[in-house]
């Protein structure tokens, strides 16, 4: 009975929304062909994968590779490091571009505003290898930052060999590189806010602080929330490249995260099945986090992905 | 003019200083790269501390890059991918974002979930390669565009922007007899120019920078995009273990200049869409 | 698309028939080889350790009267890609084609991704080239590739057609043993380092000018090392009035760091080399279990504390490492003959730095038992080579095409090209490049060599000594061989230990966590963040991670290696 109803409802929807389906069709085909068809490849997490045997021809391994990961000597440390590095990175790194966008919004001189925008977005385009080379150069024992510390009478710090400094270096350099690029989306959202609201506020005699608080921020809230949900949904899959370039054996204690561990084992040693088991584990956690944050935001704020 | 309180004035000063400092920090790395690209490799390597002017002067880095046989076809290919790819991506993304932003679209949550799911789970390199090959895209320049035509994050951003368009506008359009296609093209798209500009930038930059898929999906060197060729030059240059070749450190930096300056120029053109007040005209008109 | 697919299927079927015909003589032994269990291996491979008695027949050029074309998957060397887009444009390849009658159609994967990745993609697509280079980079081992019909077992084809390689195998039986796989297969035409001097290309390197200036000799024992490094640290050899010298500079790349110093104590502490194992009294011994280990970490910790080792060695990347040497801070390091000595000598800013900058290689230190030990030289088989795939229709021609590069003329042809065009012999019979190469416009010497010949690049087979000599710019580079080769290699774990698929997987898996723990803790010992008194705890933890099982796997493989080479 109900099934029939749903079928009929979809059919009616199809007729009613025919243009909507038409608009959606190219993207739908794209997702099916290039994402859903290849997805059978995820099975290699449950198989002893050999390239020569192919994905479907390799023997089933059950949960062997998941077990290997869960019983690894470093399992707990990897989870802790990943969650902390990624979480702190969101905590500090996520608001930074919003703040920049709000500050830029307060600048009256168009020339200055545009210059700052253009300049702050430059570091995004410097390849990670070079950017990390600059970071290493700045943070070394006789580098610029240590020179400044020494000038003020402080003790020189071996930033990249101290586990307690790894996270700050990682996060601050991340903000430095991405703040301008990240603010672009918020600037465009601010541009979308209706100018009438501001004019009405001015008539009411609102200060600029009040304007920001009551018009600008609520105006871009939807964008903020959506981007935050997406960001939290990637908590467990922090990329390995930057960490790989900045860490070393002496900072493993705080710096070794799941993706670097998988890089060392899965990519360098070509343990494909192991690597995809870890990936799958990460994806499940990410998906769960995304659904949770989405539900919370739906209830509290009213904006959500679905 | 509007009166300003003392607090606001103080804030303005602070704001200008803070933003100037931030710009300085952001400018240095690019400046460093520029100076390093004109430096002599030997001097550059023994240089430590701030690099305020080139260490020695040499155009060797640029020479190595421009001597490469494939560099100009690479530029051409990249230009094609960026222009055509961005157009296709913007079209497909915005078209899909429209129904997904309509509350009247019954299955929108189902489709959203289906699309978001692909952000988390993927089949890996080899199954994707097999699909690309079966689709007849192997060793075709389209293999760099079609398999990455839609970026899910961008789709969601676009949808968010569409959802922010006041319902009243569409309702009035509907009353005037416009169907969804017309509403999408005539009402919603023009109102979200700022977001479209951002997405054009996001897509353009990602097409501009892509090299990995090209290294797997392409065989013919005359189809290689710029970044793939530069990467090969860099890797060759890093390969100090096997050869007696003097490593030209400056190549690394010249490659960044060669590969980023054109795309950096795109931003100022997009900036004009970020001006406030796009909405007013629409609502009034 | 569909059309080509069908054609390909036909081709594959056709060549399956061909191969089964061609190999019918050797079929029995081939199936025996792949089915033989672990115990039988030593027997079966000792049986095969002398190549077939009647030997392959001699052949002469051209290999085939009517021109044929073979495809070859092979990386395009960066030295060549500067000037040519494919090796088909390489002068020597064209010359070889004209004398052999075989055209090679190259399939060059992009060098931007690892060649293993490109290879895996090709294998999984099921469409193979006739010959496949860099086959050892595939994620599946050679036996698995043969078993699953990707590449051919070459034992029989070599017996039949491999006239020159057969001779080389007889001359160097250890080479033959290195090439055989666990199952007794020959999976590829191996690239090799036949001349001993081509097996040595790295060593410790010291600022010879500093030694001269301070009136010191090259150190030969650990104690003398200490004296020299201490002098570097305290006597201001760079003459800038500051104690800013970094006597030993390492870099965060584990291959170049302080781990190498273990060799001075007579054991291997470098994990990337044979999992930090050494052969001590016939037993595979992990670094932490070696009797020298405690002495090593104690000494390193002392050197580190006294500033004899760069305090930042663990976070120094390759660029800043070079910077430290070139700015007169670093005094001693571990480096490559070319990338270390050659590059640094060539990059030093002699004009503006008032210095007699000079780098010379050091010999390994003599240990307490009066011998010095080398763990880092190469074997004859350098783990590279070209396999023939099951898609190949012309096995005889392919094998002979590869084989000719092992003949004396073939070796010279690869590295030097065509006599009278790209090279000429001098009175002593030594080949020299002609002006076509030495005066090539816009190209450095090695780039020009790679444009016109196969010198130093694939698909050549033998690392040719004349080529090596031709491209070295400094005498200090040539000194590496004399400095390192006298050291004994008896404690070095052979590079070509072989494992069954299961053992290899298990070993890789166990060593994963062990590597992380070993390297992390070793650094803590050296930097003094972990007291040496916790050594026992360190050993116990390693045991709990399955170290003994891993070493057991290696020991078994080593034992059969010894039995085969006896």
> DSSP for A152-163?
TTPPP--GGG-H
In sequence order, the 6+-apart residues with CB closer than 8 A to the CB of A52 are C123, C140, C144, C145, C147, C148, C149, C150
Dist. CA B3–CA A298, nearest whole Å: 40
C497 close to C141: Cβ distance less than 8 angstroms: no
Dist. CA C236–CA C210, nearest whole Å: 9
> DSSP for B25-88?
HHHHHHHHHHHHHTS-HHHHHT--S---S-SS---HHHHHHHHSTTHHHHHHHHHHHHHHHHHH
**Domain chopping of chain A, boundaries:** 75-300
- For A68-127, how does the pLDDT look when each residue is reduced to its tens digit (9 = 90+)? 999 999 999 999 999 999 999 999 999 999 999 999 999 988 899 999 999 998 899 888
Which of A51, A269, A271 is the closest to C120 by Cβ?
A51
Residues from chain B contacting residue A150 (CB–CB below 8 Å): none
Report helix, strand or coil for B174: helix
Chain C interface, best mutation among B39, B40, B42, B249, by max C CB count within 10 A: B42
Mean pLDDT over B216-243 rounds to 77
* Alpha-helix runs per DSSP H in C207-267: 208-214, 222-234
In sequence order, the 6+-apart residues with CB closer than 8 A to the CB of B256 are A125, A126, A127, A130, B33, B37
CATH superfamily of C202-376+490-565: Periplasmic binding protein-like II (3.40.190.10)
Cβ distance C338 to B241 less than 8 Å, yes or no, reads yes
Chain A interface, best mutation among C317, C522, C524, by max A CB count within 10 A: C317
In angstroms, the separation between the Cα of residue C286 and the nearest Cα of chain A is 19
A75-300: which CATH architecture?
Orthogonal Bundle (1.10)
pLDDT of residue B240: 45
C326 to chain B: closest CA residue: B46
Cβ distance B23 to A20 less than 8 Å, yes or no, reads no
Domains in chain B (CATH in brackets) are 6-62 (no CATH), 68-238 (1.10.3720.10)
Which of A19, A127, A290 is the closest to B179 by Cβ?
A19
Which of B70, B134, B228 is the closest to C112 by Cβ?
B228
* Chain C contact partners (≥3 CB pairs within 8 A): A, B
Which of C145, C320, C545 is the closest to A136 by Cβ?
C320
In sequence order, the 6+-apart residues with CB closer than 8 A to the CB of C527 are A161, A250, C301, C304, C314
Dist. CA C429–CA C418, nearest whole Å: 15
Q: DSSP assignment, residue C389?
A: B
C360 DSSP β-pair partners: C206
- The residues in C 465-494 lying below 8 A from B, measured between CB atoms, are 471-473, 477
pLDDT of residue C409: 92
* Chain B contact partners (≥3 CB pairs within 8 A): A, C
Confidence at B173, pLDDT banded by 50, 70, 90:
confident
In angstroms, the separation between the Cα of residue A34 and the nearest Cα of chain B is 6
- The residues in A 173-202 lying below 8 A from C, measured between CB atoms, are none
In sequence order, the 6+-apart residues with CB closer than 8 A to the CB of C203 are C334, C335, C337, C361, C362, C363, C480, C483, C484
B55 to chain C: closest CA residue: C349
Residues from chain B contacting residue A38 (CB–CB below 8 Å): 122-124, 127-128, 130-131
Phi first, then psi: give them for residue A60, nearest 5 degrees.
-70, 140
CA–chain centroid gap for C298, Å, is 32
Phi first, then psi: give them for residue C340, nearest 5 degrees.
-90, -75
C85 close to B70: Cβ distance less than 8 angstroms: yes
Chain C interface, best mutation among B140, B225, B235, B243, by max C CB count within 10 A: B243
Alpha-carbon radius of gyration of chain B: 24
Name the CA dihedral angle for B38, B41, B45, B50, rounded to a multiple of 10 degrees. -10
pLDDT of residue C74: 93
Cβ distance B156 to A305 less than 8 Å, yes or no, reads yes
C309 close to C296: Cβ distance less than 8 angstroms: no
Cβ distance C442 to B43 less than 8 Å, yes or no, reads no
Residues from chain B contacting residue C339 (CB–CB below 8 Å): 240-243, 247
Query: Do the bridges between strand C102-107 and strand C68-73 make them parallel or antiparallel, or are there none, so unpaired?
Result: parallel
Q: DSSP assignment, residue C217?
A: P
* Alpha-helix runs per DSSP H in B102-209: 108-120, 125-134, 152-163, 167-175, 180-182, 189-191, 193-209
CATH 3.40.190.10 placement within chain C:
67-194+381-452, 202-376+490-565
Q: CATH topology for C67-194+381-452?
A: D-Maltodextrin-Binding Protein; domain 2 (3.40.190)
B241 in contact with chain C, both atoms CB, cutoff 8 A: yes
Tell me whether 0.95 is exceeded by the ipTM.
Answer: no
A129 in contact with chain C, both atoms CB, cutoff 8 A: no
Dist. CA B236–CA C191, nearest whole Å: 21
C163 close to C57: Cβ distance less than 8 angstroms: yes
C153 close to C187: Cβ distance less than 8 angstroms: yes
Nearest-CA neighbor of B250 among B80, B61, B105, B84? B61
Lowest mean pLDDT among A24-28, A225-229, B7-11: B7-11
Burial class (CB in 10 A: 0-12, 13-18, 19+), C345: middle
Cβ distance C315 to A274 less than 8 Å, yes or no, reads no
In angstroms, the separation between the Cα of residue B68 and the nearest Cα of chain C is 6
Of all residues in chain A, the percent with pLDDT exceeding 70 is: 99
Question: Sign (positive/negative) of CA torsion B273, B274, B277, B282?
Answer: positive
In angstroms, the separation between the Cα of residue C491 and the nearest Cα of chain B is 25
A204 close to A214: Cβ distance less than 8 angstroms: no
Dist. CA A201–CA C489, nearest whole Å: 84
* Helices C27-35 & C38-48 angle (0-180, nearest 10): 150
Q: DSSP assignment, residue C505?
A: H
Q: Count interface pairs A-B at CB distance under 8 A.
A: 254
> DSSP for chain A?
-HHHHHHHHHHHHHHHTHHHHHHHHHHHHHHIIIIIGGGGGGGGGGEE--TTT-TTTSEE-TTHHHHHHHTSTTHHHHHHHHHHHHHHHHHHHTHHHHHHHHHHHT---HHHHHHHHHHHTGGGGS-HHHHHHHHHHHHSTTSHHHHHHHHTTPPP--GGG-HHHHHHHHHHHHHHHHHHHHHHHHHHHHHTS-HHHHHHHHHTT--HHHHIIIIIHHHHHHHHHHHHHHHHTTTT---SHHHHHH--GGGHHHH--HHHHHIIIIITS--HHHHHHHHHHHHHHHHHHHHHHHHHHHHHTS----
As separate numbers, helices (DSSP H) first and strands (DSSP E) second, chain C gives: 24, 13
C283 DSSP β-pair partners: C280
In sequence order, the 6+-apart residues with CB closer than 8 A to the CB of C90 are C80, C84, C450, C451, C452, C453, C454
Nearest-CA neighbor of C124 among C107, C106, C147, C140? C140
In angstroms, the separation between the Cα of residue A250 and the nearest Cα of chain C is 6
In angstroms, the separation between the Cα of residue A145 and the nearest Cα of chain C is 15
Query: Residue-wise pLDDT tens for chain C (566 aa)?
Result: 445 444 444 444 444 444 433 333 333 333 333 333 333 333 334 344 444 456 788 888 889 888 999 999 999 888 888 788 889 999 999 999 999 999 999 999 988 888 888 899 999 888 899 999 999 988 888 999 999 999 999 999 999 999 999 999 999 998 999 999 999 999 999 999 999 989 998 999 999 999 999 999 999 999 999 999 999 999 999 888 888 899 999 887 767 778 999 999 999 999 988 899 999 999 999 999 999 999 999 999 999 999 999 999 998 887 788 888 888 999 999 988 877 888 888 878 888 887 789 999 999 999 989 999 999 999 999 889 999 999 999 999 999 999 999 999 999 999 999 999 999 999 999 999 999 999 888 788 888 999 999 988 889 999 988 998 888 888 999 999 999 999 999 999 998 899 998 899 899 889 988 999 999 999 999 999 999 999 999 999 999 999 999 999 999 999 998 888 76
Of the CA atoms within 13 Å of residue C64, those in its CB half-sphere come to 17
Residues from chain C contacting residue B212 (CB–CB below 8 Å): 112-113
Lowest mean pLDDT among B114-118, B156-160, B179-183, C159-163: B179-183
Dist. CA C447–CA B246, nearest whole Å: 12
Cis peptide before C230 (omega within 30 of 0): no
In angstroms, the separation between the Cα of residue A255 and the nearest Cα of chain C is 12
Cβ distance B46 to C84 less than 8 Å, yes or no, reads no
C88 close to C106: Cβ distance less than 8 angstroms: yes
Cβ distance B274 to A118 less than 8 Å, yes or no, reads no
Cis peptide before B80 (omega within 30 of 0): no
Cβ distance A51 to C124 less than 8 Å, yes or no, reads yes
Nearest-CA neighbor of B78 among B204, B194, B167? B204
Query: Do the bridges between strand C277-280 and strand C283-286 make them parallel or antiparallel, or are there none, so unpaired?
Result: antiparallel
Nearest-CA neighbor of C112 among C81, C134, C141? C81
Cβ distance C139 to A51 less than 8 Å, yes or no, reads yes
A263 in contact with chain C, both atoms CB, cutoff 8 A: no
Name the CA dihedral angle for A187, A191, A193, A197, rounded to a multiple of 10 degrees. 110
In sequence order, the 6+-apart residues with CB closer than 8 A to the CB of A26 are B91, B92, B95, B96
Cβ distance A192 to B15 less than 8 Å, yes or no, reads no
Cβ distance B235 to C472 less than 8 Å, yes or no, reads no
Which of A30, A134, A207 is the closest to B5 by Cβ?
A207
Cβ distance A52 to C320 less than 8 Å, yes or no, reads no
Confidence at B177, pLDDT banded by 50, 70, 90:
confident
């Amino acid at each position: 009975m109900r099934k029939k109803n749903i079928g009929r409802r979809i059919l009616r929807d199809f007729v009613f929304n025919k243009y909507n389906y038409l608009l959606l069709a190219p993207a739908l085909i794209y997702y099916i062909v290039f994402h859903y068809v290849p997805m059978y490849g995820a099975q290699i997490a449950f198989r002893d994968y050999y390239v020569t045997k192919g994905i479907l021809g390799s023997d089933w391994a059950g949960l062997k590779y998941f077990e290997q990961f869960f019983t690894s000597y470093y399992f707990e440390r990897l989870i802790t490091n990943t969650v902390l590095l990624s979480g702190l990175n969101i905590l500090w790194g996520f608001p930074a571009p919003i703040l920049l966008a709000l500050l830029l919004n307060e600048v009256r001189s168009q020339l200055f505003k545009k210059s700052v925008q253009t300049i702050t977005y430059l570091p995004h385009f410097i390849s990670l290898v070079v950017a990390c080379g600059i970071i290493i150069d700045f943070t070394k024992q006789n580098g610029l930052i240590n020179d400044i510390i020494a000038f003020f009478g402080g003790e020189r710090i071996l930033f990249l060999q101290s586990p307690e400094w790894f996270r700050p270096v990682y996060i601050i350099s991340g903000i430095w590189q991405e703040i301008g690029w990240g603010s672009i989306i918020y600037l465009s959202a601010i541009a979308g806010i209706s100018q009438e609201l501001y004019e009405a506020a001015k008539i009411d005699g609102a200060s600029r602080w009040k304007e920001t608080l009551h018009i600008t921020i609520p105006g871009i809230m939807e964008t903020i929330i959506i981007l935050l949900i997406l960001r939290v949904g990637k908590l467990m899959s922090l990329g390995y490249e930057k960490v790989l370039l900045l860490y070393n054996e002496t900072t493993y204690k705080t710096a070794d995260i799941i993706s670097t561990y998988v890089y060392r084992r899965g990519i360098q040693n070509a343990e494909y099945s192991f690597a995809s088991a870890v990936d799958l584990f990460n994806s499940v956690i990410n998906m769960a986090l995304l659904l949770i944050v989405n539900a919370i935001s739906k209830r509290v704020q009213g904006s959500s992905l679905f | 003019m509007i009166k300003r309180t003392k607090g606001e004035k103080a804030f303005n000063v602070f704001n200008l200083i803070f933003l100037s400092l931030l710009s300085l920090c952001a400018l240095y790395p690019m400046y460093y790269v520029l100076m390093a690209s004109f430096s002599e490799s030997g001097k550059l390597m023994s240089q430590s501390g701030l690099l305020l002017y080139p260490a020695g002067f040499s155009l060797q880095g640029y020479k190595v890059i421009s001597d490469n046989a494939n560099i100009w076809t690479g530029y051409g290919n990249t230009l094609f991918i960026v222009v055509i790819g961005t157009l296709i991506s913007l079209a497909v993304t915005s078209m899909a974002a429209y129904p997904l932003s309509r509350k009247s679209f019954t299955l929108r949550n189902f489709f959203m979930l289906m699309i978001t799911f692909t952000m988390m789970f993927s089949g890996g390199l080899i199954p994707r390669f097999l699909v690309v090959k079966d689709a007849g895209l192997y060793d075709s320049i389209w293999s760099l565009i079609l398999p990455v035509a839609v970026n899910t994050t961008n789709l969601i951003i676009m949808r968010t922007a569409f959802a922010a368009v006041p319902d009243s506008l569409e309702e009035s359009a509907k009353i005037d007899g416009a169907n969804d296609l017309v509403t999408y093209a005539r009402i919603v798209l023009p109102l979200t120019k700022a977001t479209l500009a951002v997405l054009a930038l996001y897509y353009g930059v990602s097409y501009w920078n892509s090299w990995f898929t090209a290294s797997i999906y392409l065989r013919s060197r005359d189809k290689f995009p710029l970044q793939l060729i530069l990467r090969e030059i860099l890797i060759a240059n890093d390969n100090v273990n096997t050869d007696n070749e003097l490593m030209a450190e400056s190549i690394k930096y010249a490659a960044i200049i060669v590969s980023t300056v054109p795309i950096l120029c795109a931003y100022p053109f997009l900036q004009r869409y970020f001006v406030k007040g796009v909405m007013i005209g629409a609502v009034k008109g | 698309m569909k059309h080509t697919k069908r054609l390909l299927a036909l081709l594959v079927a056709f060549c399956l028939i061909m191969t089964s015909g061609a190999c019918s003589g050797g079929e029995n032994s081939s199936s025996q080889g792949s089915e033989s269990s672990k115990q039988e291996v030593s027997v079966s491979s000792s049986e095969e350790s002398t190549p077939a008695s009647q030997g392959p027949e001699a052949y002469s050029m051209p290999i085939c009267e009517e021109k044929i074309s073979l495809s070859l998957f092979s990386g395009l060397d960066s030295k060549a890609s500067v000037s040519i887009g494919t090796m088909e444009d390489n002068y020597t390849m064209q010359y070889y084609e004209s004398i052999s009658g075989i055209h090679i159609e190259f399939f060059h994967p992009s060098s931007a991704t690892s060649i293993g990745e490109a290879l895996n993609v090709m294998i999984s697509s099921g469409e193979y080239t006739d010959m496949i280079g860099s086959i050892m980079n595939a994620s599946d081992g050679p036996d698995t590739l043969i078993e699953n019909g990707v590449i051919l077992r070459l034992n029989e084809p070599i017996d039949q057609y491999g006239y020159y390689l057969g001779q080389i195998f007889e001359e160097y039986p250890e080479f033959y043993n290195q090439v055989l796989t666990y199952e007794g297969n020959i999976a590829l035409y191996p690239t090799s380092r036949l001349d001993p001097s081509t097996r040595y290309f790295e060593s410790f390197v010291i600022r010879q000018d500093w030694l001269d200036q301070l009136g010191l000799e090259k150190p030969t024992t650990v104690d003398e090392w200490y004296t020299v490094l201490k002098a570097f640290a305290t006597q201001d050899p760079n003459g800038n009035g500051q104690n800013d010298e970094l006597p030993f500079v390492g870099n965060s790349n584990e291959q170049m760091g302080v781990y190498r110093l273990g060799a001075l104590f007579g054991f291997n502490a470098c994990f990337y080399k044979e999992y930090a194992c050494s052969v001590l009294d016939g037993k595979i011994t992990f670094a932490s279990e070696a009797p020298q280990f405690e002495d090593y970490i104690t000494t390193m910790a002392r050197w580190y504390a006294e500033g004899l080792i760069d305090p930042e060695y663990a976070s120094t990347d390759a660029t800043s490492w070079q910077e430290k040497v070139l700015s007169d801070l670093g005094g001693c390091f571990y480096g490559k003959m070319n990338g270390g000595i050659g590059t640094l000598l060539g990059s030093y800013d002699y004009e503006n730095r008032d210095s007699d900058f000079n780098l010379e290689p050091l010999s390994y230190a003599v240990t307490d038992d009066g011998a010095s030990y080398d763990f880092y030289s190469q074997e004859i088989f350098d783990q590279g080579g070209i396999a023939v795939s099951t898609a190949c229709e012309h096995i005889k021609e392919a094998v002979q095409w590869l084989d000719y590069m092992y003949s004396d003329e073939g070796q010279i042809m690869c590295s030097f090209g065509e006599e009278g065009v790209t090279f000429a012999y001098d009175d002593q019979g030594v080949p020299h490049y002609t002006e076509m190469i030495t005066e090539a416009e816009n190209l450095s010497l090695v780039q020009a060599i790679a444009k016109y010949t196969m010198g130093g690049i694939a698909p050549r087979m033998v690392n040719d000594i004349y080529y090596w000599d031709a491209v070295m710019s400094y005498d200090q580079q040539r000194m590496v061989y004399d400095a390192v080769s006298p050291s004994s290699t008896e404690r070095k774990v052979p590079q070509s230990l072989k494992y069954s698929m299961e053992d290899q997987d298990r070993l890789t898996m166990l060593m994963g966590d062990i590597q992380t723990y070993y390297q992390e803790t070793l650094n803590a010992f050296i930097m003094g963040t972990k007291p040496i008194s916790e050594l026992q705890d360190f050993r116990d933890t390693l045991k709990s991670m399955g170290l003994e099982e891993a070493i057991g796997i290696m020991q078994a493989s080593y034992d059969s290696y010894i039995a085969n080479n006896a």
